[in-house]
């Protein structure tokens, strides 16, 4: 299911852009396995991969993924030697970051100049673009770096409104022109992530960076993508209770009739949102059944009504099926959050398998 869904989502993206597709597999492929997602995306036509760190990129290289890789967050700083050894591009988002990179005694490192195009969350501020480009120019002349790209971010792309994206698009055009005017060639420019890619061709430039979209999430809410994951859990305990039975910590749920309660061995330690609405539920044998009471660290309770399910019966917490089966989007709505937090929050106790 996972590789097929990722491939289908890449095909959906390809139908909407002529630009090169970078498959961003940070956060362990949005919780789905970075190597698995990367392989499926590349097989479907993605030309680049994106990660948060050189270490993540090196793991993709170890898995024999040979396409270009860019890393741009650098939580532990840029390891230029490791980047050069792995053949990985790195983004630099400040004069200080580039100066520190140039101070390292390494072979030539391919860099992307990360410009702040309106996010104010990393990237070189507009007032320092000339200084950053000048330093990159000197570094390239000395063969310490090679400028291989220029990038920015769209702060308002989830609105699916080209007018909201226009200032960032204009800023990226100016940054690209400044890089060209400095004699640094015409490296590919990239600005759009999933929402921009799906809704605004003006943001596409030479490459688009698609992460959430690979696993079926469209933050703009305008395109139905293919959900890539399913979470199931076995019933481990079932009991019959009378009307008026309080359930879980605080007794926030009280049965309004004689019913059966089943326990699933997943809780907030496994990524089930603790704060979710009374509409939250799971699917058991084709029926949507409600979560009863508060989510515990290791368990949730399901009110199964007149039907008693034996231990071992599989419940689907979320999946791509539709109908009775909740989706990650349903859980995000019930928890008042975004689907990204659902799929990236599934904990390490949950066994992963690829279907």
Co-location of 202 and 291 in the same domain: no
Structure tokens at 203: 């943001």
Tokens of residue 331, six digits:
């859980």
Residues 8 and 140 in one domain: yes
Q: What is the pLDDT along the chain (355 residues), one digit of tens a residue?
A: 799 999 999 999 999 999 999 999 999 999 999 999 999 999 999 999 999 999 999 999 999 999 999 999 998 889 999 999 999 999 999 999 999 999 987 789 999 999 999 999 999 999 999 999 999 999 999 999 999 999 999 999 999 999 999 999 999 999 999 999 999 999 999 999 999 999 999 999 999 999 999 999 999 999 999 999 999 999 999 999 999 999 999 999 999 999 999 999 999 999 999 999 999 999 999 999 999 999 999 999 999 999 999 999 999 999 998 899 999 999 999 999 999 999 999 999 999 988 7
Full residue range of the structural domain in which residue 199 is found: 2-215
Question: Which CATH number covers residue 96?
Answer: 3.20.20.10
Residues 13, 101: Cα–Cα separation, whole Å? 34
- pTM for the model: 0.94
Let me know if residue 21 belongs to a domain: yes
- The reply to whether 350 falls in a domain is no
Classify residue 160 as left (phi > 0), alpha (psi -120 to 50) or beta: left
Q: Are residues 260 and 184 in the same domain?
A: no
202 inside domain: yes
Strands 237-241 and 259-264: what pairing?
antiparallel
81 and 25 in a common domain: yes
- Torsion sign across C-alpha atoms 16, 161, 223, 193: positive
Same domain, residue pair 162 and 266: no
Residue matched to tokens 């702040």: 116
Distance CA 176, CA 191 (A): 11
Q: Are residues 274 and 208 in the same domain?
A: no
Q: Are 210 and 249 within one domain?
A: no
Q: Quick one: 70 and 118 in the same domain? A: yes
66 and 211 share a domain?
yes
Q: Check whether residue 136 and residue 240 sit in a common domain.
A: no
The pair phi, psi for residue 187, each rounded to 5°, is -65, 155
- CATH code assigned at 326: 2.40.37.10
Is residue 224 assigned to a domain?
Answer: no
My answer on whether 146 and 271 are in the same domain is no
For residue 73, which of 24, 146, 131 has the smallest C-alpha distance? 24
* Residue among 108, 111, 204 nearest 154 (CA): 204
- The answer on 307 and 260 residing in a single domain is yes
Domain total of the chain: 2
Is 151 within any annotated ligand binding site?
no
Whether 225 is covered by a domain: the verdict is: no
**What is the predicted pLDDT for the residue at 106?**
77
Q: Active-site positions?
A: 26, 249
Q: How far apart are the first and last CA of the chain?
A: 5
> DSSP secondary structure string, 146-157?
EEEEEE---TTG
66, part of any domain = yes
119 is in an annotated binding site: no
């Amino acid at each position: 299911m996972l590789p097929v869904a990722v491939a289908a989502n890449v095909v959906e993206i390809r139908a909407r852009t002529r630009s090169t597709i970078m498959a961003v597999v940070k956060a362990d492929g949005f919780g789905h396995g970075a190597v698995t997602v990367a392989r499926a995306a590349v097989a479907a036509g993605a030309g680049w991969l994106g990660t948060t760190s050189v270490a993540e990129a090196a793991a993709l290289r170890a898995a024999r993924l040979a396409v270009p890789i860019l890393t741009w967050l650098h939580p532990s700083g840029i390891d230029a030697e490791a980047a050069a050894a792995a053949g990985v591009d790195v983004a630099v988002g400040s004069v200080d970051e580039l100066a520190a990179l140039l101070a390292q005694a390494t072979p030539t490192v391919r860099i992307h100049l990360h410009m702040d195009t309106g996010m104010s969350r990393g990237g070189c501020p507009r007032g320092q673009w000339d200084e950053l480009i000048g330093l990159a120019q000197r570094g390239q002349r000395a063969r310490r770096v090679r400028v291989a790209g220029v990038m920015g971010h769209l702060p308002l792309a989830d609105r699916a409104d080209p007018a909201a994206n226009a200032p960032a698009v204009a800023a990226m055009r100016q940054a690209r022109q400044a890089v060209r005017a400095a004699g640094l060639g015409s490296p590919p420019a990239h600005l759009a992530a999933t929402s921009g890619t799906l809704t605004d061709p003006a943001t596409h430039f030479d490459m688009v960076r698609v992460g959430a979209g690979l696993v079926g999430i469209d933050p703009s809410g305008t395109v139905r993508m293919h959900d890539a994951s399913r979470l199931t859990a076995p019933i481990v305990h079932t009991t019959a209770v009378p009307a008026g039975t309080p359930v879980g910590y605080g007794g926030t749920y009280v049965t309004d009739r004689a019913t059966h309660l089943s326990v699933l061995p997943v809780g907030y330690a496994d990524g089930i949102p603790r704060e979710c609405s009374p509409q939250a539920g799971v699917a058991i044998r084709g029926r949507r059944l409600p979560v009863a009471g508060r989510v515990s660290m290791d368990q949730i309770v399901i009110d199964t009504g007149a039907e008693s399910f034996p231990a071992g019966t599989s419940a689907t917490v979320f999946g791509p099926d539709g109908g009775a089966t909740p989706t990650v989007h349903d859980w995000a709505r019930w928890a008042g959050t975004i689907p990204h937090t659902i799929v990236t929050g599934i904990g390490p106790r949950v066994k992963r398998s690829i279907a």
